Structure 1
Amino acid sequence: MDSSEAELDRIEAQRSTDASHDQQNRTYLPMNIHGSQDFSQSGGDGVTPLTGDTESVPEFLTNLRLSDLYAIRGEDVRMIPEVFSKISDGNKECLEKLRSRGISVARIKSNTGDSILHLAVTWGHLELVKEIVCECPRLLLEQNSSGQTPLHVAAHSGHTTIVEAFVALVTFSSARLCNEESERMNPYVLKDKDGNTALYYAIEGRYFEMAVCLVNANQDAPFLGNKYGVSSLFVAINTGDVSLVKAILKIIGNKDLKGKKSNLESKLQGQKSLAHVALVTQSIGVLDVILDEYPSLMDERDINGWTCLSLAAHIGYYEGVCNLLERSTKGVYVCDQDGSFPIHTAAEKGHENIVEEFIKRCPGSKHLLNKLGQNVLHIAAKNGKFWISNMLIINKDTEHLGVGQDVDGNTPLHLAVMNWHFKSITWLARSSKILKVRNKNGLRARDIAEREVKPHYIFQERWTLALLLYAIHSRGFESVHSLTKPSVPLDPKNNRDYVNTLLLVAALVATMTFAAGFTIPVPLQQ
């Protein structure tokens, strides 16, 4: 007798001992199906009798032992290497050999808690899976040491045909059980140690055909959250699959919008900012599905306090901004927790097309000013977004923002000078009126530049001051003779930095032209 034969004999001996132990202690699963259904007329072989139309019943289910769904169990038996290897290879003869020795295949487990059904599913052996599940249907509910059922394993591995076979089994079995029992025969809502359902893994792996099958099989699983607060619906939105998201959202009842929203909130676990997720993934199709079903989600705030419009403006999602504005423009006038409107967010990030869209669709000044007294031009100038500054200052509907003062009395020109954003100076200093404005400290933009410029040569500062003085000179309201502070080397002991700075300045000056334009002499005609 070889070692594998001896090991099988040991398992068989353990089975006899366990059976005797079970008869004494009557160890049952939480429910015994025999208490509510009589299988005594099924021929005594455990085969489920079929009634009614059998043409639609999958062939492999004709041998289903429904009476074993909640059978008595004993202690688990360690899976020997030979069984592990043969089941992994899809060898049906191994199953027959275990049966011939009277060994309960349902109790054999690997060192990671996998049953033989887990192994057969892992390697995608569909026919072996069907044979095992018909003989031991309760294995479909068995969890391994990671808390995963065979359905989890099938979904994670992308075995769609196996998942479909499991769905057929559960559907067939549930139809023949009472309501309480069919609820217990529900592998779709079982979670592993990370709190994930099989549907979660199907969507995460982008097995969308499988995911739709699981969604149609159970209406609760899409809304269950894992231990990180992420639901399958959340992941589906994140993948951008329109048909899957539509399939999930359509299963919510109630025809009235308020009732639907309430029903969604009561079902959905974990993170709930669904429209925000669609915006982040920039899936306009999914966004349409969500907001068509639940328009009120557009007004909700995420964990950062952002509305949908603020988020779209923040990430620069132009198509999303346009979509939201087509639905309603009221979000333009809803400020965030810091008092900024969506247009300020877009200006800060430099999304010129979105700022332009806000101004075009929503004329007026209410949304242009935040609680700090800063208008959208202040924001653009402060953050060096010179294209936005230029666009706003030459637009007749927004040019008045150039003389606007914040709570400290600073104009956009003041802020641009304070931050040495020289590219915006020529446009922001385009009128004498702007150049004359003083802040609450009595300082004009020129005063700030001359006071703050450092004595050592920093190109950005010197260039800002030069452009500002040129603008003052060209407007002709104040004389300008020279820069007020001579430049000195950065560090007398380190001439390399000083020389490099001068070379950089020389290269930039050689390649740049003033936007306002120094006059270029025209040669005389001969």
Structure 2
Amino acid sequence: MMTTTRDEQQLPTSSATTMNAPAVATLNAKLMVATSRGDCQGLKDLMNKEDATSMVVVMATNQAEAPKLPTLASIHPLLAAAACQGNWKELNFLLNRSAEASMMPSEEFIARLAAYTTTTATTAAAADIIIEEGWAASLLMGVTVEGDTPLHLVAANGDGNNYKDCADLIHGKDKHLLSKQNKEGDTPLHCAARARRSEMVSHLIDLARGDGILEGLLRTENNSKETAFHQVVLVGDNDMVKRLLKADPELACFPKQGGTSPLYLAILLKEDGIAKTLHDESKDKALSYSGPNGQNALHAAVLRGPVVTQELLGWNKSLATGRDEKGSTPLHFAIGYFEDEENNGTSCVCSQVLEANEAALFQPDKDGLAPIHVAATVGANRAISMFVRRCGSSAGLRDAKGRTFLHVAVVEKQVRMVCSACRNPSLAWILNMQDDEGNTALHLAVQAVCLRMFWVLFGNRQVKLNLVNNKGQTPLDIAWNQRPLSLVDNRNNDFWILNLLILVGASNGVYRLDHFKANYKGIHGVNSGYQISRLQGILKDSTQSRSIGSVLITTVTFGATFAMPGGYKQDDHTDGPH
């Protein structure tokens, strides 16, 4: 902090001060400048403590105000109309102030022009008064709300000789407009290509070649990292694709960093002919395969079928193991999209990817899911059969939760897939594998209360019934805990699952009976008296709609099945556990 003191410093007075003006007071002044955050705070504290009758404080900030973006001039309506309509006479009159009879626009146009000026002249003879000096230069500076210059408008709206003449006229006045970008980053060439103005595209290329800026113009990217070449691919004009590749054989390599390549667009849009042109006519057959979100062209190709997939892999096999931002490979994408019997697409496309690089089968995404787990999730049975047939060890791949594809199939209730796995002797080794929570496929099938899925696992002799999970539970414990404290209904799956396990002598885990009871009541949120009161209420209601015989049968069933499994006697037995 710097301090400067001047005693009896007199404030300056104006020369216009009159003789009768009061005397200017003198004061002791101190000039203090703070240059750091700490000094500023000290200066504030000093101001609060300073004993002074008068004080002048000047505070400044070193933070520059945000620069204001320049406001672009709006394009003149008559110029915009002439450019969009390709009216060379009107455009020429506005830009060149020509008064030659052969080049004069209509009287109607002169009348419209007069409405934008201070004069009332409406005749050709008075036309030179209407347009002031410098008008043409200021006109070309105007843009639309999208930032389009007059050349953008001409390029996007027409293809004939009149439009090309208008383009020449504007370009002759200001060559920089040829590479001028609008708010979206599009040049006039982008606009012409997007509108499929093939003659205009060729004409703008010729103008750029004459200016020596052809390569730069063709490779200019807009805000979406797309060149004008991308627009040609998007509209599906293969002839124009060839024309631009002839002008610059490296166009298929752009954008260089990230973004979507022309090849990816061609495959996505099923423009197989354009895709082949891009490969065959690019310099040294070098082109970009990149796509959005870290994908490559093969991610799109596998969704379009085996023909384009095979062709793309023939060009570049390394695409098979490419991963996008979520870690997904093309094989992750291929699974499940062509499962119909007629197409036989999954087996074919997946097989093509694996032939290119079998390691793709073992590549998990960022969630830990290998392709075989994705197949289990979507029920792609034939894909899994092909994976197991090609590489049996892939059946044991685990996801981030320690689950095999069989665990996933059970959780997703893919019954057909579980049936197929249980019938395949080569998969017997995974039937009892446990996930990170210690659950086997049978544990999960009991949790899902899916009788058919439980039945196929239960009926396989290789499936062990008494393995315990991390909670010490066997499948029987889970079945018992899932059985509600209510009247037994043999129409429910949980009834049959529990009784089938009891019937074959499945065991409980190792724990104390009182702990099991406490856990059971905690699961169902009931107290010890709930069982009897609930049963009495149900029986009372049942007598109103059912016969006595059916109630007795239900009651007997309830008594037989309510006994604790695994050797436990009924709750009211005096001896307690067996």
> Contact (CA 8 Å) 2:79, 2:139: kept in 1 or not?
no
What is the CA deviation profile of residues 343-399 of structure 1, one whole-angstrom value per residue up to 9, with x for unaligned ones? 12211222112112212333x235423165533222211221111000110122224
The answer to whether structure 1 residue 449 and structure 2 residue 483 are counterparts is no
The answer to whether structure 1 residue 327 and structure 2 residue 356 are counterparts is yes
In the alignment, structure 1 segments of 5+ residues that lack a partner are: 1-75, 174-180, 494-526
The percent of aligned pairs where both chains have the same amino acid is: 24
The answer to whether structure 1 residue 108 and structure 2 residue 137 are counterparts is no
Q: Distance in 1 between matches of 2:312 and 2:532?
A: 61
> Contact (CA 8 Å) 1:393, 1:399: kept in 2 or not?
yes
Q: CA RMSD in A?
A: 4.2
Specify the SS of the correspondent of 1:436.
coil
> Contact (CA 8 Å) 1:275, 1:291: kept in 2 or not?
no
The answer to whether structure 1 residue 120 and structure 2 residue 154 are counterparts is yes
Deviation at 1:328, TM superposition (A): 3.8
> Contact (CA 8 Å) 1:141, 1:187: kept in 2 or not?
yes
Which AA in structure 2 matches 1:235?
Answer: L
The answer to whether structure 1 residue 376 and structure 2 residue 405 are counterparts is yes
Question: Which runs of structure 2 are paired with 1:198-277 in the superposition (5 Å)?
Answer: 198-225=228-255, 229-250=259-280, 264=288, 272-277=294-299
Which AA in structure 2 matches 1:307?
Answer: T
Question: Which residue of 1 is the match for residue 422 of structure 2?
Answer: 393
Which AA in structure 1 matches 2:393?
Answer: S
> Contact (CA 8 Å) 2:186, 2:222: kept in 1 or not?
yes
CA, structure 1 residues 322+99, in 2 after alignment: closer, same or farther (shift >3 Å)?
A: same
> Contact (CA 8 Å) 1:196, 1:225: kept in 2 or not?
yes
CA, structure 1 residues 405+122, in 2 after alignment: closer, same or farther (shift >3 Å)?
A: closer
Question: Which residue of 2 is the match for residue 291 of structure 1?
Answer: 313
Length, aligned pairs only: 396
Q: Distance in 2 between matches of 1:84 and 1:438?
A: 80
Specify the SS of the correspondent of 2:403.
coil
Question: Which residue of 2 is the match for residue 21 of structure 1?
Answer: none
Question: Which residue of 2 is the match for residue 305 of structure 1?
Answer: 327
What is the CA deviation profile of residues 239-264 of structure 1, one whole-angstrom value per residue up to 9, with x for unaligned ones? 23222223334466568xxxx6xx85
The answer to whether structure 1 residue 469 and structure 2 residue 499 are counterparts is yes
Q: Distance in 2 between matches of 1:280 and 1:459?
A: 49
Which AA in structure 2 matches 1:426?
Answer: W
CA, structure 1 residues 383+188, in 2 after alignment: closer, same or farther (shift >3 Å)?
A: same
Correspondent of 1:165 among 192, 203, 226: 203
> Contact (CA 8 Å) 2:303, 2:337: kept in 1 or not?
no
Q: Distance in 2 between matches of 1:434 and 1:308?
A: 35
Question: Which residue of 1 is the match for residue 382 of structure 2?
Answer: 353
Question: Which residue of 2 is the match for residue 132 of structure 1?
Answer: 166
Correspondent of 2:393 among 365, 387, 391: 365
What is the CA deviation profile of residues 74-124 of structure 1, one whole-angstrom value per residue up to 9, with x for unaligned ones? xx9975433333333332322443466257589635441544433323321
What is the CA deviation profile of residues 411-470 of structure 1, one whole-angstrom value per residue up to 9, with x for unaligned ones? 211111123233311111104553533224443212211123333589999414414534
The answer to whether structure 1 residue 88 and structure 2 residue 84 are counterparts is yes
The answer to whether structure 1 residue 143 and structure 2 residue 196 are counterparts is no
Correspondent of 2:459 among 430, 433, 439: 430
> Contact (CA 8 Å) 2:336, 2:375: kept in 1 or not?
yes
Deviation at 1:225, TM superposition (A): 4.0
Deviation at 1:233, TM superposition (A): 3.8
Q: Distance in 1 between matches of 2:288 and 2:330?
A: 18
> Contact (CA 8 Å) 1:348, 1:380: kept in 2 or not?
yes
> Contact (CA 8 Å) 1:275, 1:298: kept in 2 or not?
no
Higher relative contact order (CA 8 A, sep 6+): 1
Deviation at 1:128, TM superposition (A): 1.8
CA, structure 1 residues 271+377, in 2 after alignment: closer, same or farther (shift >3 Å)?
A: closer
> Contact (CA 8 Å) 2:83, 2:154: kept in 1 or not?
yes
What is the CA deviation profile of residues 503-524 of structure 1, one whole-angstrom value per residue up to 9, with x for unaligned ones? xxxxxxxxxxxxxxxxxxxxxx
CA, structure 1 residues 285+183, in 2 after alignment: closer, same or farther (shift >3 Å)?
A: farther
> Contact (CA 8 Å) 2:266, 2:274: kept in 1 or not?
yes
CA, structure 1 residues 460+251, in 2 after alignment: closer, same or farther (shift >3 Å)?
A: farther
> Contact (CA 8 Å) 1:160, 1:210: kept in 2 or not?
yes
CA, structure 1 residues 199+324, in 2 after alignment: closer, same or farther (shift >3 Å)?
A: same
Deviation at 1:324, TM superposition (A): 1.2
Which AA in structure 2 matches 1:466?
Answer: W
> Contact (CA 8 Å) 1:90, 1:128: kept in 2 or not?
yes
Deviation at 1:125, TM superposition (A): 4.5
Deviation at 1:129, TM superposition (A): 2.5
> Contact (CA 8 Å) 1:236, 1:244: kept in 2 or not?
yes
> Contact (CA 8 Å) 2:250, 2:282: kept in 1 or not?
no
What is the CA deviation profile of residues 281-322 of structure 1, one whole-angstrom value per residue up to 9, with x for unaligned ones? 434444333322111121222211123223323766714213
Which AA in structure 1 matches 2:499?
Answer: L
Question: Which residue of 2 is the match for residue 18 of structure 1?
Answer: none
Which AA in structure 2 matches 1:92?
Answer: W
Question: Which residue of 2 is the match for residue 418 of structure 1?
Answer: 447
Question: Which residue of 1 is the match for residue 26 of structure 2?
Answer: none
Q: Distance in 1 between matches of 2:80 and 2:88?
A: 12
Question: Which residue of 2 is the match for residue 14 of structure 1?
Answer: none
Specify the SS of the correspondent of 2:463.
helix
Q: Distance in 2 between matches of 1:219 and 1:294?
A: 19
> Contact (CA 8 Å) 1:456, 1:487: kept in 2 or not?
no
Instruction: Please report the TM-score for the alignment, with normalisation by the length of structure 2.
Output: 0.58
> Contact (CA 8 Å) 1:156, 1:205: kept in 2 or not?
yes
Q: Distance in 2 between matches of 1:275 and 1:150?
A: 28
Q: Distance in 2 between matches of 1:309 and 1:188?
A: 35
> Contact (CA 8 Å) 2:302, 2:309: kept in 1 or not?
no
Which AA in structure 2 matches 1:108?
Answer: L
> Contact (CA 8 Å) 1:333, 1:367: kept in 2 or not?
no
Q: Distance in 1 between matches of 2:74 and 2:368?
A: 64
Which AA in structure 2 matches 1:322?
Answer: S
